[in-house]
Amino acid sequence: MSLLRQFRRHQLPDMNAYRRFIVAGQHVGWVKPDLARRLLEWPDRFISNDGALALHPRLATAPLRSEAMAETLSALRASGLVPGWRNELYPVNTQFNAPPLLVMERAAVPLFGVLAYGVNLNGFVGRGWGMKVWVARRAATKSVDPNMLDHIVGGGQPIGLTPMENLIKECDEEAGIPAALAGEAVSVGIVTLIFEAVQGLRIDMQFNFDLELPADFTPQNRDGEVAGFELVPVSELIHRLRSEDDFMYDSAIVQVDFLIRHGFIGPEDPDFLSLVAGLRPPLPYDPVQVAA
Amino acid sequence: MSLLRQFRRHQLPDMNAYRRFIVAGQHVGWVKPDLARRLLEWPDRFISNDGALALHPRLATAPLRSEAMAETLSALRASGLVPGWRNELYPVNTQFNAPPLLVMERAAVPLFGVLAYGVNLNGFVGRGWGMKVWVARRAATKSVDPNMLDHIVGGGQPIGLTPMENLIKECDEEAGIPAALAGEAVSVGIVTLIFEAVQGLRIDMQFNFDLELPADFTPQNRDGEVAGFELVPVSELIHRLRSEDDFMYDSAIVQVDFLIRHGFIGPEDPDFLSLVAGLRPPLPYDPVQVAA
């Protein structure tokens, strides 16, 4: 079966079903009309602006905006509207390296359709068709996608760390990969994901890294978020991705990117061009945030 | 200086300056209004259709369309409107692996804004920051970009060969790489290029391959299209791409893709996301030809 199966698990969302979310004149997100109506009950924090929802322009600095957002989310959480609270602050930016326009609780990011960043590690042993790829089975207690297959290491990108620093931290917590080994991981590019999840609208840019692990290395989870690890021959990985939906969605897409970059899926696959195109759909922000 | 320098050598074209080119109801290209007016002087071959230029629907099969196009191009060539004639037929498709709607002389492809496919080889020696990359200096006699730096191997994708077969052929002709060695090249993905060149509107999808070459291998050109080869340390390659425009445009962009996939340019570069986005701008065909 075609690897497009993985992409078809989520259609690209219909952005007409959302209202733009504007901060400091910048289009940074998307909110459902229902949520927009609720937010407009705080007229000192949110205004309606030409069809869009905007953070009130009187909130002119990042600390003021972040405080107003925190108070808002606290109230929404009390109403049960922000499930899976993390106590983790995410930056809202128009560019990855720019100072944030505000920071907000990670669990609310999909409710506001804000771009989130993450890191993934493709950890493998061997080369060519003899390659095996380490995959993780997510713990039954995870709030998102319990029991599903996942990358050996992956995580959201918090404030204050570079992607590489974050990767090294996650390598330690999730798989017991020592910093000296994790530091040999190679940045290999970006995959973009746009999909509607139970948490809301996920718009992600994931920084991906490859790491060839020693044959005698065995990952050890340290944070309780992984039920176990498995070393999967690459041909079996491809077979699973073609026939099953047992990988969590974003991990499956990042696996496809890995398989393409390493030549396991190439021009001989009739869907090759569609697969490649699916790895980086254009970001739905206006004006385009990431342009050459 | 930023590697965005390379992308800025050509702006994305203003598609409003072109008319859509339609074949068999499919949007397959773009023509300048001047050329469209000239083509409409053959009313049995071309018609105006809702602002677009269409191949006449009476041309209902690929052979009929190809013959009408060949006669048209022959006349245009006699008027000096098709420089650089190659005697090489390119397929016009809406999907890479689909049977062509017609075939046409390669030199005319940019005049019709038709999607063209190509292959490139990234040939390198060593790994990590000790890596060196083979580059070619194009012959002074080349019709396109004489004397500029280029990939060790690259070429258009003709009918009747797979990209890998084409790569092996080009490896032999351009760099004397034996088939057994060329066959070890690894497909690594696609770069898309959209730009206005002297030949017209170039819309390319380039299939890229990596090949780690033995340290004692020296390329030997056999078709007279290369003036010489040079083994460039990767740090010097980056410096050149940051400061000079001595690579031909498409080769420069494919080099950026190579540098990103191998971790030489990563999230620590302030332009990383823009560079990644620039490697695959969406194709300007309607409806989108390559969708997941």
Q: What is the ipTM of this complex?
A: 0.92
Q: Report the gap between the CA of A258 and the closest CA in chain B (Å).
A: 9
Whole-Å CA distances, A130 to A181, A233, A253, B235: 22, 7, 22, 32
Do B189 and A273 make contact, defined as CB atoms within 8 angstroms? no
Q: Which helix (H) or strand (E) holds B189?
A: strand B186-197
Half-sphere exposure of A132 (CA within 13 A, CB side): 13
Q: Report the gap between the CA of B50 and the closest CA in chain A (Å).
A: 27
- Contact map slice: A 174-233 vs B, CB within 8 A: 186-190, 205, 207, 209
Do A280 and B280 make contact, defined as CB atoms within 8 angstroms? yes
Predicted model pTM:
0.94
B131 interfaces chain A, CB cutoff of 8 Å: no
Angle at B232 between CA B229 and CA B233, to 5 degrees: 160
Using CA atoms of B100, B101, B102, B104 in order, give the dihedral in degrees to the nearest 10: -70
Residue-wise pLDDT for A156-166, tens only, equals: 998 889 999 99
Question: Please, which residues have CB within 8 angstroms of residue B70's CB and are 6 or more apart in sequence?
Answer: B104, B105
Can you tell me the mean pLDDT for B73-79? 97
Residue B41 is predicted with a pLDDT of 97
- pLDDT beyond 70 at B291: no
Question: Please, which residues have CB within 8 angstroms of residue A41's CB and are 6 or more apart in sequence?
Answer: none
Do B290 and A280 make contact, defined as CB atoms within 8 angstroms? no
DSSP labels for A67-82?
A: HHHHHHHHHHHHTT-S
Tokens read off for A252: 């499956």
A256 and A3 Cβ atoms separated by less than 8 Å: yes
Burial class (CB in 10 A: 0-12, 13-18, 19+), B237: buried
Domain boundaries, chain B: 19-112, 116-278
What phi and psi, each to the nearest 5 degrees, are found at residue A243? Answer: -120, -15
Residue-wise pLDDT for B175-231, tens only, equals: 999 999 999 999 999 999 999 998 899 999 999 999 999 999 999 998 888 999 999
A161 and A155 Cβ atoms separated by less than 8 Å: no
Whole-Å CA distances, B170 to B27, B115, B134, B153, B158: 31, 20, 15, 6, 11
Do B263 and A4 make contact, defined as CB atoms within 8 angstroms? no
What is the third-level CATH fold of B19-112?
Transcription Regulator spoIIAA (3.30.750)
Whole-Å CA distances, A210 to A77, A79, A80, A123, A151: 38, 42, 39, 6, 11
Class of domain A116-278: alpha beta
Chain B residues whose beta carbon lies within 8 Å of the beta carbon of residue A162: 267-268
Question: Please, which residues have CB within 8 angstroms of residue A61's CB and are 6 or more apart in sequence?
Answer: none
Chain A residues whose beta carbon lies within 8 Å of the beta carbon of residue B268: 162, 164
B8 interfaces chain A, CB cutoff of 8 Å: yes
- pLDDT beyond 70 at B290: no
Whole-Å CA distances, B165 to B157, B158, B169, B209: 10, 10, 6, 12
Can you tell me the mean pLDDT for B220-248? 95
Can you tell me the mean pLDDT for B84-96? 91
Do A188 and B164 make contact, defined as CB atoms within 8 angstroms? no
Q: Report the gap between the CA of A104 and the closest CA in chain B (Å).
A: 22
Q: Report the C-alpha gap between B172 and A243 in whole angstroms.
A: 39
B145 and B246 Cβ atoms separated by less than 8 Å: no
Residue A11 is predicted with a pLDDT of 82
Where do we find the tokens 């991705």?
A241
Do B274 and A268 make contact, defined as CB atoms within 8 angstroms? no
Residue pLDDT tens, chain A, 292 long: 899 999 999 988 999 999 999 999 999 999 999 999 999 999 999 999 889 999 999 999 999 999 999 999 999 999 999 998 999 999 998 888 889 999 999 999 999 999 999 999 999 999 999 999 999 999 998 878 899 999 999 999 988 899 999 999 999 999 999 999 999 999 999 999 999 998 899 999 999 999 999 999 999 998 888 999 999 999 999 999 999 999 999 999 999 999 999 999 999 999 999 999 999 999 999 874 443 3
Q: Which amino acid is at B215?
A: A
Residue A200 is predicted with a pLDDT of 93
Residue B242 is predicted with a pLDDT of 97
- pLDDT beyond 80 at B292: no
Q: Which amino acid is at A158?
A: P
**Strand locations in A63-174, DSSP E?**
89-92, 102-105, 115-125, 132-138, 149-151, 153-156
Q: Report the C-alpha gap between A118 and A149 in whole angstroms.
A: 17
Q: Which amino acid is at A170?
A: E
Question: How many beta-carbon pairs under 8 angstroms link A with B?
Answer: 100
Report the largest interatomic distance among the alpha carbons of chain A, rounded to a whole angstrom.
Answer: 61
Write down the mean pLDDT value for chain B.
94
* Of the candidates A115, A176, A110, A146, the residue with the CA atom closest to the CA atom of residue A246: A146
Q: How many CB atoms lie within 10 A of CB B30?
A: 25
Task: Kindly state the percentage of chain B with pLDDT values over 90.
Answer: 88
- pLDDT beyond 50 at B77: yes
Tokens read off for A127: 């080369």
